[in-house]
Amino acid sequence: MELVKKSYRISASTAEMLKTIVEKENCTEVSAVENAIRYYKDYLYMQTDGAFISESVKRTFLASVNLMETRLNNRTNKVLSELAIQQAIICQVLAHELEINPRALDNYRRAAVEYLKMNDRVFRLEDILEE
């Protein structure tokens, strides 16, 4: 971040308010003035552009949504991973216990894909048994 040196004249009461803010927030005068300008910019934006929320509220909200989305993705990935492991176990048990022709297995796969495409990816055992 590039810094620019500026000098401004402020009233004695404003200087006293700035001093109070600096002491209360335990920050420098420069950071207090920069924050004040950012808040004023948000205030003007809300007055002129008709925004419903300020930029700082928007950033906070988006950060919360991104965090929640990341957590949800992590949990979903864990569940999908566990389901894939369980399915692999089931497939290995079936393959070990049944003697299935590889060509027949390919036909089963094609039939399953077609069935799922036609039924919006919903699988019901009773529908398969009727066929």
Q: What's residue 24's pLDDT?
A: 93
- DSSP, collapsed to helix, strand or coil, labels residue 26 as coil
Task: Give the C-alpha separation, 44 to 40, whole Å.
Answer: 6
Cut 0.75: pTM above it: no
Work out whether the CA dihedral 29, 63, 1, 9 comes out positive or negative.
negative
Q: What's residue 119's pLDDT?
A: 74
Q: What's residue 84's pLDDT?
A: 87
SS3 content of the chain, % helix, strand, coil (to 5): 75, 0, 25
Task: Give the C-alpha separation, 19 to 21, whole Å.
Answer: 5
Asked whether residue 131 carries a pLDDT value surpassing 60, the answer given is: no
- Span 6-16, average pLDDT: 91
What confidence tens digit (pLDDT) does each residue in 106-120 have? 888 888 888 777 777
What confidence tens digit (pLDDT) does each residue in 33-72 have? 999 999 898 888 777 765 566 777 888 989 999 999 999 9
